[in-house]
Amino acid sequence: MSEKVELPYPTTPTEIGEHTVSFITSGVAAGGTAEVQADQVKIIEDAGWTVDGPYDGEFTPSLQGTLIEQAVLRGVDGIILYSIPPETVPAAVKSAQEAGIPIVCSFCQPTQPTEGVTLIGETAESLVTPQIPVILADLNKDDATIVVVRFENNTVEANTSEQIRLIEEQCPDCKVETIVFSVSDLGKPTVPAYVNMLREYPEGELDAVIAPFNPAATSLINTAEQAGRDDFRIHVTFGDAEIGQQIESGEHAPLLAGSVIESPIFKGYAIVDALARVFNDQEVPDYSNLPGAPIMQQNAGEYLNDDGRWETDEMKAKFYEQWGLSD
């Protein structure tokens, strides 16, 4: 945890120009998505581009595909997808390709490379590889019982599979179980699956739960605290600003222990940089394997700004330098 995570900044200049780009996201109801969308839209607009949208494709591929098709008909210069893997909307992606409209897709892993689509974000490997050793060190127990929470999303499922594989590899005597957090559980203060889990694992029989993102963690915290339970540790994957601040301040400790954070701010700049280079027929830096940073209370302050976001003082300046813009 003492190792500083480095982000891959661009090192060659590109022209930003003036463009209109459509921003289409999946599941604004999932906690953190709305704030990610707002942060990235602001970065795009500050760079001088016009944002068509943003539009919420909810959790429905047919709606997401329709929004992409409509953007194609409006003749936008580029399309930004958030958490909409290209293979789930193949006909709409093909329409954009045939119209010569480039697509960048953030938080879209795992996916096979798709012509005309530039991936921006973390892989399951880059995100959870540093997470599991932190969780196991935090537990310091060779036969821990760990529950991994699943969610019906390609990216989350890839993370879950990698987490289970790494735990089994690094702690062969640990017991790993899974439960499901569903779309219908979003926004609920308590979740039946969590109630059943706490009943199945009474005090002293559960060591840790890995939640896939903020709403799943928040519901679990509420359920556990209402039951008077703080005997296990909660670690979050894709923890948002609120979770990060709670970890840094010690709120919900010792229950809420840690998270792996990503930088939507960095990805906002990477979206602009990647599209600009595609527009200019330049090589695009590899933004498809961005690192995650594991945080606990001990090191959260090294990454989080006052708003709970991972944003360094140099982030904007380093991109603007390559874009020829004044900070």
pLDDT of residue 111: 66
Q: What is the DSSP string of 108-154?
A: --S----TTEEEES--HHHHHTTHHHHHHHHHT-TT-EEEEEE-SSH
User: What is the arithmetic mean of pLDDT over 42-48?
Assistant: 96
More confident residue, 91 or 189: 91
Q: d(Cα 124, Cα 114) in Å, to the nearest integer?
A: 18
Q: Does the pLDDT at position 100 exceed 80? A: yes
pLDDT of residue 99: 96
Q: Does the pLDDT at position 32 exceed 80? A: no
pLDDT of residue 3: 79
pLDDT of residue 188: 84
pLDDT of residue 312: 86
pLDDT of residue 115: 79
Residues 6+ apart with CB under 8 A from 154: 85, 88, 109, 110, 111
Per-residue confidence band for 206, with pLDDT thresholds at 50, 70 and 90 = very high
User: What is the arithmetic mean of pLDDT over 196-214?
Assistant: 96
pLDDT of residue 116: 80
Question: Rounded mean pLDDT of the chain?
Answer: 93
Per-residue confidence band for 110, with pLDDT thresholds at 50, 70 and 90 = low
Lowest mean pLDDT among 31-45, 48-62, 80-94, 143-157: 31-45
User: What is the arithmetic mean of pLDDT over 93-104?
Assistant: 96
Q: d(Cα 139, Cα 105) in Å, to the nearest integer?
A: 36
User: What is the arithmetic mean of pLDDT over 229-243?
Assistant: 93
User: What is the arithmetic mean of pLDDT over 254-276?
Assistant: 96
In the numeric block, which tokens belong to residue 94? 């093909």
Tens digits of per-residue pLDDT, 147-184? 999 998 878 899 999 999 999 999 999 999 999 999 88
Q: Does the pLDDT at position 31 exceed 70? A: no
Contact predicate 311/265, CB 8 Å = yes
Q: pTM for the full model?
A: 0.89
Q: Does the pLDDT at position 308 exceed 70? A: yes
Per-residue confidence band for 207, with pLDDT thresholds at 50, 70 and 90 = very high
